[in-house]
Amino acid sequence: MTRDTTSVGGAIASALERAEELRSLSDRPARVRIMTIFGDDRSGLTINARIAARTPAEHRAQEGLGTRCIPWDELDARAGEIVGLVDAVVGEVTLAVQNTPPVPRPSRSEDDLELAVFDDLIDELGQTITLSALSVLEKHPAKQVSRELGSEAAMLAALKFAVLAAYTGHVGLNDAQDELRMAMGEVMNKMLASPELARRPNLNS
């Protein structure tokens, strides 16, 4: 090994240090992964960066970006590029997120929206989801689990459904969290106002 050659191990260590440095400098830090891939057309050392998306638009903006690969047969000769590739992938996804235009929620952007119809749709969907959950809890082999565990399972399933709906409906993380807080607040207030509701059987009773 000549004096001008950079070792692969040393280059990877420096690249990881650079990734942590970049994370500390940003309020929207990118997660950098350095991976080894074998057996396909991407076989080699892969550097990938991704910023946690707060909106579906930010997620889509990063698709196909933030990835570089050095083939195995070029790795020794190109080890000195690895730190620079970290800068490149982080810069690429950072710019993509910064340039993502805000996409308003459909309920706030559709001019012909009828609030009463929209509220009715929410109520009907809620009733349908609840009835479906009750049906599963009654028929599933795990129906003998505790009421609390059944309710938790229903909550987690509903959250996954909500995330999918939020993604397709262009609802960002902050808006989704606000809706969850308001929904929980409404339920808590109803329980305080009507204690008999709290004594009703759980979902899988």
Asked if 17 and 37 count as a contact pair (C-beta separation under 8 A), the reply is no
Backbone angles phi, psi at 158, to 5 degrees: -65, -35
Q: Which contiguous run of DSSP H or E holds residue 68?
A: strand 67-71
Band of pLDDT at residue 37, cut at 50, 70 and 90: confident
Per-residue model confidence as pLDDT tens digits over 66-106: 999 999 999 999 999 999 999 999 999 999 999 998 877 77
**Nearest Cα residue to 203 out of 129, 153, 150, 136:** 150
pTM for this model (two decimals): 0.64
Per-residue model confidence as pLDDT tens digits over 125-149: 999 998 898 888 888 887 677 878 8
**Nearest Cα residue to 57 out of 163, 167, 179:** 167
Strands 30-37 and 44-51: antiparallel
**Residue 87 neighbours by CB under 8 Å, 6+ apart:** 18, 22
Q: How many CA atoms lie within 13 A of 159 on its CB side?
A: 10
Q: Quote the CA–CA distance of 130 and 38 in Å, as a whole number.
A: 46
Per-residue model confidence as pLDDT tens digits over 143-201: 677 878 888 888 999 999 999 998 888 888 888 888 889 988 888 888 777 766 555 45
Residue 77 zone, left/alpha/beta (φ > 0; ψ -120 to 50; rest) = alpha
Q: Quote the CA–CA distance of 132 and 184 in Å, as a whole number.
A: 21
**Residue 82 neighbours by CB under 8 Å, 6+ apart:** 8, 11, 12, 14, 15, 34, 45, 47, 70
Asked if 142 and 198 count as a contact pair (C-beta separation under 8 A), the reply is no
